[in-house]
C-alpha cells in the first residue's frame, strides 16, 4: 500500500507540475496560482442576498437538504439535474447544465450533492460556468479526481471551492450551503474556520451560549486536497467587518496549522489592533499511522504532531485552548465582554 508520505509527495509534484500547464480551462486566463488563492477569497462572503443553486437537485439528499435550507431562509433559486431539465422541483426551475442555470439564474453559489464518482465532474462544470462559490460536501472523492479539480482551479480566478468532504459554509440566519446543524447557529461576531466539522459545531455552540454568535463559519473539510484552507479562512476574517474575533480549529495531518501560524504571525506584526484569535488542535492522543475519521486526519512520521502545531499557533499570540467548550467564554474575555449581559 502506498505510504502517506509517498502519496503527499506525489500530490505535491502533480500540483507543482500543473502550475506549468498552459491549459486554459475557464474563460479566465491563468496567470498564477495566487490569483485563485487571493482573488477568490471574497467569494466566501455569503449573506441573505446570495443566490444559490443545487447540483444533483432532484436527488434524495439534495431534496431533503434544500427543503431545510429554504425554510432557513437561504435564497435558493433553482438547480441542475441533467435528466430533469425543463421541469420544476420544489417549485423551482431545473436545468440540464450548470452553464444553462448560470445563464437563466445568475447564481452566486452552488451546493453540490452528487455521489463521489461524479462529484469531480460536477465541480468542474461549476468552475467552467464561473460560479463564484462552489461547495461540495461529498466524501470519498478519489484523489486522482481532486488533482484534476485543483489543476482546473489553478487556471482561473473566478470560482472558489469549499470542500470536498466538509460541512460547508454558513452565515447564520442568512444563508447556508452544506449540512451544518443550523438551529444552534446565531448571527454574531465570531468567525470560525475548522478542519473538523464536529468540532466546529462545538465551537458554534460555545459562542452561541456566550451570547457572541457567529459572523461566518467555514468548514474546510479534512481531505488532503481541500479547496479552501485554514489560511484562506483567516484571510477572509482578517478583513471581514462583521468578524470581531476568530476561531481556528486544526487537527493532525498535513501542514495547514503551521501555515496558519505563519500567517497569524505576519498579521499580528503588521496590524495595530489585531482581532483576537483562539486556536485548538485536535488529535494529541492519536496513534501514529492511523486514520482518524477522514483521509486527511492521519499522523504520519513526516507530519508535525498536534502538540507541535499547538505550540506554533501559541507562539504567534493566538490563545490555544484544550477544548471547544471553552471558546465562548475565552473569546468573550478577549473581546472585553465578559461582564456584558
| Cis amide prior to 163 (ω within 30 degrees) | no
- Chain-centroid distance, C-alpha 276: 21
Q: Kindly give the pairing relationship between strand 92-95 and strand 88-89.
A: antiparallel
Q: Which three cell numbers stand for residue 66?
A: 434544500
- Which residues make Cβ contacts (< 8 Å) with residue 251, sequence separation at least 6? 195, 196, 199, 222, 281, 282, 283, 292, 297, 306
Q: Are 110 and 131 in contact (CB under 8 A)?
A: yes
Looking at the DSSP bridge assignments, the partners of residue 51 are 75
3-state secondary structure of 38: helix
Catalytic choice (89, 150, 185, 294) = 294
Whole-Å CA distances, 334 to 81, 103, 289, 329: 47, 47, 37, 9
Instruction: Write out the H or E segment, with its range, that includes residue 179.
Output: none
Active site residue 104: no
**Strands of the 245-251 sheet, one edge to the other:** 175-178, 168-171, 214-219, 187-194, 245-251, 277-282, 319-320
Please list the active-site residues: 294
Amino acid at each position: 500500500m502506498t505510504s502517506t508520505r509517498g502519496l503527499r509527495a506525489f500530490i505535491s509534484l502533480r500540483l507543482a507540475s500543473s502550475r506549468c500547464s498552459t491549459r486554459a480551462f475557464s474563460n479566465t486566463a491563468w496567470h498564477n496560482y495566487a490569483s485563485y488563492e487571493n482573488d477568490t477569497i471574497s467569494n466566501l462572503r455569503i449573506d441573505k442576498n446570495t443566490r444559490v443553486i443545487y447540483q444533483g437537485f432532484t436527488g434524495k439528499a439534495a431534496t431533503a437538504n434544500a427543503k431545510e435550507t429554504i425554510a432557513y431562509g437561504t435564497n435558493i433559486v433553482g438547480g441542475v439535474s441533467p435528466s430533469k431539465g425543463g421541469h420544476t422541483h420544489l417549485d423551482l426551475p431545473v436545468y440540464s447544465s450548470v452553464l444553462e442555470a448560470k445563464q437563466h439564474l445568475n447564481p452566486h453559489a452552488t451546493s453540490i450533492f452528487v455521489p463521489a464518482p461524479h462529484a469531480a465532474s460536477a465541480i468542474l462544470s461549476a468552475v467552467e460556468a464561473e460560479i463564484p462559490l462552489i461547495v461540495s460536501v461529498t466524501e470519498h472523492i478519489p484523489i486522482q479526481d481532486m488533482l484534476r479539480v485543483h489543476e482546473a482551479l489553478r487556471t482561473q480566478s473566478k470560482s472558489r471551492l469549499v470542500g470536498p468532504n466538509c460541512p460547508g459554509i454558513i452565515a447564520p440566519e442568512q444563508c447556508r450551503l452544506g449540512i451544518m446543524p443550523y438551529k444552534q447557529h446565531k448571527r454574531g461576531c465570531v468567525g470560525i474556520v475548522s478542519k473538523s466539522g464536529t468540532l466546529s459545531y462545538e465551537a458554534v455552540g460555545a459562542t452561541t451560549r456566550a451570547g457572541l454568535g457567529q459572523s461566518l463559519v467555514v468548514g474546510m473539510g479534512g481531505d488532503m486536497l481541500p479547496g479552501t484552507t485554514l489560511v484562506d479562512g483567516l484571510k477572509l476574517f482578517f478583513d471581514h467587518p462583521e468578524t470581531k474575533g476568530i476561531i481556528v480549529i486544526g487537527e493532525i495531518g498535513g501542514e495547514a496549522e503551521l501555515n496558519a501560524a505563519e500567517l497569524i504571525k505576519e498579521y499580528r506584526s503588521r496590524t495595530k489592533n489585531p482581532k483576537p484569535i483562539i486556536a485548538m488542535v485536535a488529535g494529541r492522543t492519536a496513534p501514529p499511522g492511523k486514520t482518524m475519521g477522514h483521509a486527511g486526519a492521519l499522523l504520519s512520521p513526516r507530519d508535525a504532531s498536534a502538540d507541535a502545531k499547538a505550540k506554533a499557533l501559541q507562539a504567534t499570540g493566538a490563545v490555544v485552548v484544550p477544548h471547544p467548550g471553552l471558546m465562548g467564554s475565552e473569546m468573550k474575555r478577549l473581546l472585553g465582554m465578559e461582564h456584558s449581559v
